[in-house]
Amino acid sequence: MNWTRIEEILTGALERDPAERAAYLDQACAGDATIRAEVDSLLAAHERPGAVDRMAADFAPVAARLRSTAVSLAGKTVGPYEVKEEIGGGAMGVVYRALDTRLGRTVALKFLRPHLGTDDSASERFRLEARTVGGLEHPNICTLHEIGEAEPGQLYLAMPLYDGETLQRRIARGPVPIEEAVGITIQIARGLAKAHARGIIHRDIKPSNVLVTGDGVVKILDFGIAKLAGVVLTGPSTVLGTLGYMSPEQAEGEPLDHRTDLWSLGVVLYEMLAGRRPFPGATPSAVAEAVLSGDPAPVSKLRPEVPPGLDRILKTALGKTPAARYQSAQAFERDLLGLGLALDLPAGFTPSGGSPPVEAPPPPPPARRRWVVAAALVVAAGVMALAVWALAGAPVHLAAP
């Protein structure tokens, strides 16, 4: 039994919403009935009433086998780095705490999963992430120290080990205070403005890809599926991203521009304020249909203390067509600042300036029939799951899993 593979698939399944798991497992298990049965059994144990109390007993035998068969880099030396311990992982990558012996600093090393090392597309996407992040210098974007290769096919990225938590973990504790949520959104918008000015679209803005440091500085993580101008790694029909945070044009596989990130940022702001996503659904097709044609309840109906101005901002951010929503991250930021709230921003923060708004290209072609797209997304969710670099539920201190 390949327990390492089971661990990877189980981790990836637990990181996803229940509605997305079946499609993910169909793709990840690749027809291996034995692995699928083992993962399904572990997921069922996790979901049973009282599972929290019994999970250790249910999972202990498998966990022991996973530990005994998994290949760990802990305690080894990789280039100039002394690898200390694993601190996170998911379907595509695993992250270790490590010491850079040259400078005596602690870093996060993100490795491509070994079984993906021979996958040319995955390796090229990993290298693209390094080139993409390495070319961006901004306080609200995760810094990249370097890219290296532990052995043939074993690529890694070296990044800072930030002290903080993902926005996903912050939201899990309940709705975020209004001023704090707006301040976080403004910082994300500023990081996106920098990326968009360089022709880079993130394409997977979501709470697990945003880290808030201990001193309140927001860091955008995981540009692993970013679309760099002039770089194409997938066919025109491939859909990349995370269902629930995708813009309508992204969900339909249409051509994208930077405004897809502004939709996703609107979803994140809504979730911070409401404590839930604006487009929920029990199945991938239901979520897709809500994204394509549903109108979320105004946040002020769910949380009366939210000022009406925020409802108007969210309505614009979540416009169904690119032309109907904000045309630049700077415009999004200006409206948020215009609310006049006592924002919780880090020391030294100033409103954006100097960078001209990104000019939007013409809107994508008319969307295909929505019911066809919604049905197709049930299958596409599995493809997305393996393509997405984000590691939902990243632990505290994780830089960019």
Check whether 148 has a pLDDT greater than 80: yes
Comparing 66-75, 100-109, 250-259, the range with the smallest average pLDDT is 66-75
Report yes or no: 150 and 196 within 8 Å, Cβ to Cβ: no
Helical H segments across 225-358, by residue range: 248-251, 259-274, 284-293, 299-302, 308-317, 329-337
Check whether 18 has a pLDDT greater than 60: yes
Residue 360: Cβ within 10 Å count:
16
Which pLDDT does position 333 carry in this prediction?
96
Q: What percent of the chain has pLDDT over 90?
A: 37
Q: Tokens 């690529």 map to which residue? A: 155
Task: Give the side-chain half-sphere CA count within 13 A for 396.
Answer: 4
3-state secondary structure labels for all residues of 133-159: HHCCCCCCECCCCEEEEEECCEEEEEE
Query: pLDDT per residue over 23-43, tens digit each?
Result: 888 878 877 888 888 778 777
Rounded to an integer, the average pLDDT of 235-253 is: 76
Strands 210-213 and 200-201: unpaired
17 is catalytic: no
Which pLDDT does position 2 carry in this prediction?
55
CA gyration radius, the chain = 21
Which pLDDT does position 358 carry in this prediction?
64
Report yes or no: 81 and 109 within 8 Å, Cβ to Cβ: yes
Task: Pick the catalytic residue from 32, 100, 204, 344.
Answer: 204
Check whether 207 has a pLDDT greater than 60: yes
Question: How many angstroms separate the CA atoms of 297 and 291, rounded?
Answer: 13
Q: Tokens 């991250």 map to which residue? A: 329
Residue 368: Cβ within 10 Å count:
12
More confidently predicted of 302 and 129:
302
